[in-house]
Amino acid sequence: MAPVPGRGEPVSKRFLVALGGVALALSLAACGGEGAGSGDSGSSGEKPADLTIGVSMPTQTSERWIADGKSVKEKLEAKGYKVDLQYAGDDIPTQSQQVDQMITQGADVLIIAAIDGTALSSQLQAAADKKIPVIAYDRLIRDSKNVDFYVSFDNYKVGVAQANALLVGLGLLKEDGSKGTATGPFNVELFAGSLDDNNAHFFFSGAMDTLKPYLDSKTLVVKSGQTKIEQVATLRWQQETAQKRMEDLLTKSYNDGTKVQGVLSPYDGLSRGIITALQNAGYGKGSAMPPVTGQDAEIASVKLINDGVQSSTIFKDTRLLAEQAVIASEAFLQDKTPTANDSKTYDNGVKVVPSYLLPVVTVYKANIQKELIDSGYWTAEEVAAGQAK
């Protein structure tokens, strides 16, 4: 395990954090009062303003990562910490350089959402050498012992939820999980995320385990024959890449008058590219668009769901994820171990990383109001416009 701050090191900022008298525990009402630092309230002998937390996010091309970075920064700054937030523009060398700089400039904790989960080994070793705790944020960092904690959602269950949403869209299941009235067979195509993102494998595994009985019985048929993650992956989760692949699938596998009747998509950005390809091929004109799943409840896709174009998305409340990152950061700063609710699942190839996993919600048109608007995640005006204010 990576060195834990305070073990055998001289008096430092982190050691002093454990000596004062101000309780810093943060609880999550949405999680029944439990959290990564639940029960670990601590105290500080040095002002939070003297402590810096480096936050490395992968890109600003996705609404989701912009929201994550903003939420983490705001929540940390609200507690008085200095925050060094950097976006890497989907460029691995840029992220490596930014993390190097955070370490050099004296970050006390690092929160990292990696572009490539295997590309930061030297940076993590440098952090460990300086006894800087590393929290992997939503994307597991692989092949390193120097990952101290992981905050995320239950990514296997995200895949299960996406597969079930596809089955609901096809009428094979109802939204409550009971059997639907449709019988099939249905022609479907499969998409996955970027192979260098550990989450993509969990999403796809959960989805395929759920769809397997339907594929085995030929209730679902993948006309292209592309059912392995290596065949359906989308590098860097790029919308344009997904659109091009969907166009190629329609040209090569559906040039005989048959139609694709459903698409498993793991992310809203890919979903929009897939939908554009379908629309350009005449789908949705005079008939319903085939069900296309998604993830992240991006506002452009929520509008599409509200308009009956995209069928569903998986809502991962990043506000709660940001809170868990803050809780874990404070636990480390207080010389304590963050509380995990999963210590078995996330093996990064070198160690099982203690994790705190949050639940997810499937959003259809019928529950946009309840899950996204009433919760304050989006406003009704934003949903109608398909644009964040």
Same CATH topology for 13-147+318-357 and 155-316+363-385: the answer is yes
What angle (nearest 5°) sits at the alpha carbon of residue 352, between those of residues 152 and 9?
95
For residues 168-187, average pLDDT: 96
What predicted TM-score, i.e. pTM, was given to this entire model?
0.83
Which of the four pLDDT bands, split at 50, 70 and 90, describes residue 47? confident
The residue whose two tokens read 């390809």 is 277
pLDDT score for 45 = 60
pLDDT score for 43 = 42
Predicted confidence (pLDDT) at residue 37 exceeds the cutoff of 50: no
pLDDT score for 11 = 36
The tens digit of pLDDT for each residue in 229-286 reads 999 999 999 999 999 999 999 999 999 999 999 999 999 999 999 999 999 999 999 8
Domain ranges of the chain: 13-147+318-357, 155-316+363-385
Does domain 13-147+318-357 match CATH 3.40.50.2300?
yes
Architecture of the CATH domain 155-316+363-385: 3-Layer(aba) Sandwich (3.40)
Which of the four pLDDT bands, split at 50, 70 and 90, describes residue 36? low
pLDDT score for 286 = 85
CA distances, 223 to each of 185, 189, 289, 356, 385 (Å): 11, 7, 18, 39, 36
The C-alpha atoms of residue 14 and residue 341 are separated, in whole angstroms, by 25
pLDDT score for 287 = 85
The C-alpha atoms of residue 61 and residue 264 are separated, in whole angstroms, by 22
Torsion of CA 327, 313, 384, 298, to 10 degrees: 50
Which of the four pLDDT bands, split at 50, 70 and 90, describes residue 302? very high
For residues 150-171, average pLDDT: 97
Which of the four pLDDT bands, split at 50, 70 and 90, describes residue 311? very high
